[in-house]
Structure 1
């Protein structure tokens, strides 16, 4: 095998010896590029050294192993995670695979079994990537003949953040509901958080198809068949759900998303897009095509810091200042950081401040009922209503 496979080991009890390392390199073309002993550390280290494969102990200390898998894949969808179990904890294999692990080994295992597992997994994934690349190339060739002119009467709103956990998805849902309720027009809600989107779940919807199916059938979609790929909510929203598993994220390319937005814009008056927290190419496509970008943040220090970085990047991308609007979510005076502090750090005025109301927010998520429908007089809902007015009026 021509490629050298970079292996990161995350195990507090396992220490490979020299002979082990030699066999890995000579027999499998595998190089150990690092060894860590906690779940938190493997996530941090993987960001730096970018391994091809992570060998992760299911009983790793610190961050839970399943949670570590999700973080690893969120940071790099291409990384291959092999979980290591003992006979005692083998019952967690299904849970591990559901989290995104690609294969597993049971202790004690031989160096040869490790080599075989990693090589076969790597080669299989390599073939998959080459097939995807070829498919993307074919779509690039088709692109010239595809009319991507967006209808001027449709509006595209993308919610974005450089940090997860800021409440962006709940805002997207209720904003879309508010726009639909006020305008009585057609509104599509796109879950573009490809690694961990939960909008369908938050709306108590159980889709038969997702954005992945739409991409696979792209050439056969027209006005009549479009609805087969969307799931409809009682509020009037049409929802395009995120992939079922993180592994499917690679099916969504910049070109395929461009086509999706084009098709939706031809059939819907408003498109609200909820993105994952990164400047990946597919998110950049959504941002580029948007009339409005709502940059969502909160008043915790990491969010404030990442907002500054994210807004600086948007300036470098030459987005017009009035296209990007800062939204402060979950505001409370008890946070210790003031609104003025945020604006000073972010170098941008805040469009709207949404107050903290965990009771309403959690109830909305758990019941699948947007609070704009059942609690429209609450302060949190009134602020969403103000944002929808801003979008509708096209300021």
Structure 2
């Protein structure tokens, strides 16, 4: 009986144990002795259509998953798979693993656009996360180092990936990564999809190497960095801005809601209810006032504050705020560092913030991922635009003084 025939005849754990026996015939794999949880992760991938895999740095997530995908493609040569990473340079390690595998015949192509050819006749695409992935029809995608995706990739490439699977009855998508404070997409996916998490102490090879334990013992590496990269505990360099967050369906009277609006290319609105020092986030909206001046008219004469004046003012934002004052009797609030500090303190002063995640997903993401920046305010940059968070801060204590013209 050939190796391929026997692999196809076996199921579950027996198949993987035989697979490892075959790999041990190669000198490059004689060190490879998967633990029980590594086998369990492979079995989990067999029966799961989409999931996240979080491991400590050096936790063998890339190596294990490549071994899984090669066996999968060998047994199912009709399936079309793609291995992706955020940058072409991050494909180097994956390429080495593919080239060293005894089931792989060759890897050909230009960097970031390679094809892995297996002896069984199967092929696996090896791609960077660029627009070149669009147009492909695939049965499965592995996105490695997802936490390293840049804002443009998150906005343009990532939304296209599920579309590559729509023609498939298999449609598997696996997200691999290490926890990182400025990786909102990966952190969001960890909450959204089934997730397997393994810290460094679950990895015998990391414990044996001793490097991580030495870093901990020496005390020179920040504790938050150890938590994120090796203990797989979500944290941030200067801490989370809003540490007390709960998710719940919220019953409320619409008359209780107070609103805040922040301007940008799109204009975001958040509605909150304050009861007994608990902030309930109950509504969120997104419109383009330039295209529809009447978009927020349904909030006429409600308690609502909009961005206006301060360091973030410009002619366009000023025009929007004046228009809302006239149309729906909103109040304007100048945005300054003093204002940010005051509103940040109010938000942190609540006993807890309760969010209806089902109807307020965007503000949930902003509040959940809000971390302190080097200036002591919540971090706001290209990876953390935080427009919904700004709207939330306008909502929690709306100014009541109307502007006159």
TM-score after normalising by structure 1: 0.33
TM-score after normalising by structure 2: 0.32
Larger Rg: 2
